[in-house]
């Protein structure tokens, strides 16, 4: 029976040791068994679970969503609407963020294109920052459900 130390698990999954402890602390990973000298000992299941978490994090799912997804994954008789909904929600969060960033991209592109050679007194970049009306697109920063962290 494969038994892994935390460092070994870290290597196997590419998740850093302190992060693994952090996931345990916030309840994403169950507390593993310990040796007599209090070291964590993981079985193979932990590798799968941690890989799942890692993958979901790479996709930008927030921890709370991952908690839900893990619960679902643990009880396979449940209907999977929730999982679909979470994925759809994450997709639209990612799309929203892309759209937002593309607005920024356009404005920054303009600033960079107009970049001056000379003194700040005539600098287009500084000027553009001073004068918001020079912006084509309004870049409203929607604050609340940031969601797709990354």
Please tell me the distance from the alpha carbon of residue 90 to that of residue 77, in angstroms, as a whole number.
23
10 binds, among DNA, a second copy, none (CB under 5 to 8 A by kind): DNA
Query: Given the complex with DNA, which of 108 and 114 has the nearer CB atom?
Result: 108
DSSP SS3 for 71: helix
Please tell me the distance from the alpha carbon of residue 5 to that of residue 119, in angstroms, as a whole number.
59
Of the residues 119, 136, 145, 147, which one makes contact with a second copy according to CB under 8 A:
119
Candidates 3-11, 25-33, 34-42, 67-75; binding stretch for a second copy (CB under 8 A) = 67-75
107 binds, among a second copy, DNA, none (CB under 5 to 8 A by kind): a second copy
Phi-psi map region of 57: left, alpha, beta (phi>0 left; psi -120 to 50 alpha): alpha
8 binds, among DNA, a second copy, none (CB under 5 to 8 A by kind): DNA
């Amino acid at each position: 029976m494969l038994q892994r130390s935390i460092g070994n698990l870290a290597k196997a999954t590419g998740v850093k040791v302190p992060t693994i402890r952090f996931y345990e602390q916030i309840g994403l990973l169950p507390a593993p068994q310990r040796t007599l000298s209090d070291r964590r000992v993981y079985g193979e299941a932990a590798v799968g679970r941690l890989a799942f978490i890692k993958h979901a994090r790479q996709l930008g799912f927030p921890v709370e969503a991952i908690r839900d997804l893990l619960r679902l994954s643990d009880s396979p008789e449940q209907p999977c609407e929730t999982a679909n909904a979470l994925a759809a929600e994450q997709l639209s969060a990612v799309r929203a963020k892309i759209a937002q960033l593309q607005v920024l991209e356009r404005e920054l592109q303009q600033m960079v294109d107009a970049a001056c050679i000379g003194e700040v007194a005539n600098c287009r970049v500084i000027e553009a920052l001073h004068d918001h009306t020079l912006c084509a697109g309004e870049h409203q920063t929607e604050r609340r459900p940031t969601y797709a962290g990354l």
